[in-house]
Structure 1
Amino acid sequence: MTDRVVVAGAVLDGGRLLAARRSAPPALAGRWELPGGKLEPGETAPEALVRELREELGVEIEPGERIPGEWPLAPGYVLHVWTARLLSGEPRPLQDHDELRWLARRELDSVDWLDQDRPAVSRAARHLPAAPSA
């Protein structure tokens, strides 16, 4: 049996990456992730990402490229991450999150990412402008 895919969006806007703090389940609460959710039967990964971010954040996004790699989650689930461009709406924590933050490249280490999100975040960082030299 193949693993069920969970899609997450590395939402990029204005040279920043969107981070979402989990409010549930209790084991994950307080840690940060790239927002997304489970692929439903008959959906493509980009379609699932558009639906999940609409449900969770109240925004419309345009999926971009898949970030190479996949990361195991709970048994039977695997994480696939896509870049995404914000088209409309202001992200709000509607489901499963209690706080959102836009992070510049130099701020990515300022939140406690879920372990499975760390490799995708570091790959997504390549899409962000380098920090200005001091």
Structure 2
Amino acid sequence: MPEKPFSLAVSALIRDDEGRVLLLKRAAAASINPGKWDLPGGALDPGETFDRALWREVREETGMRVTLRHVAGAGELALPTRRVAYLVMTCDVDRTEISLSPEHEDYAWVAPGEAATMDLVEQFRGLF
């Protein structure tokens, strides 16, 4: 049986001035991980660099602009037809007000210890 191909996705670990991290709750109608808590981010478009993809995804999902600082970690998710490798970047933001996209139904700024107790998507459980 052939191995499933990998695709790349990028996610933002965004902290506010109090050290809390931003989590987004995926919509109940989402095809992957409905109702679970996630980091902002998503897949790269063909030919797109990971920094541009992350800027685009965060803007689409939260309305915020980010500045990438450094690599925070990585994760992996197995899907039926592919595996997704996630590159997680620590980011600064221009503001903390959120404008959610239809992909998400809620958001929370939580302490890292609290994030570890939430119903997180599988690929980010080891980050907190």
- Shorter-chain TM range is 0.7 to 0.9
Number of aligned residue pairs: give it.
121
Q: Give the C-alpha shift of residue 111 in structure 1.
A: 1.9
SS at match of 2:94: strand
Counterpart among 87, 105, 117 of residue 124 in structure 2: 117
Give the structure 2 partner of residue 90 of structure 1.
97
SS at match of 1:118: helix
Counterpart among 6, 11, 21 of residue 8 in structure 1: 11
Q: Which runs of 4+ in 1 moved over 3 A?
A: none
Is 2:83 aligned against 1:79?
no
Give the structure 2 partner of residue 49 of structure 1.
54
Identify the range of structure 1 (70-79 vs 38-47) with the bigger mean alpha-carbon deviation: 70-79
- Structure 2 unaligned spans of 5+: none
**Matched-pair contact (CA < 8 Å) for 1:72–1:78:** yes
Residue identity (%): 30
Over aligned residue pairs, what C-alpha RMSD do you find?
A: 2.0
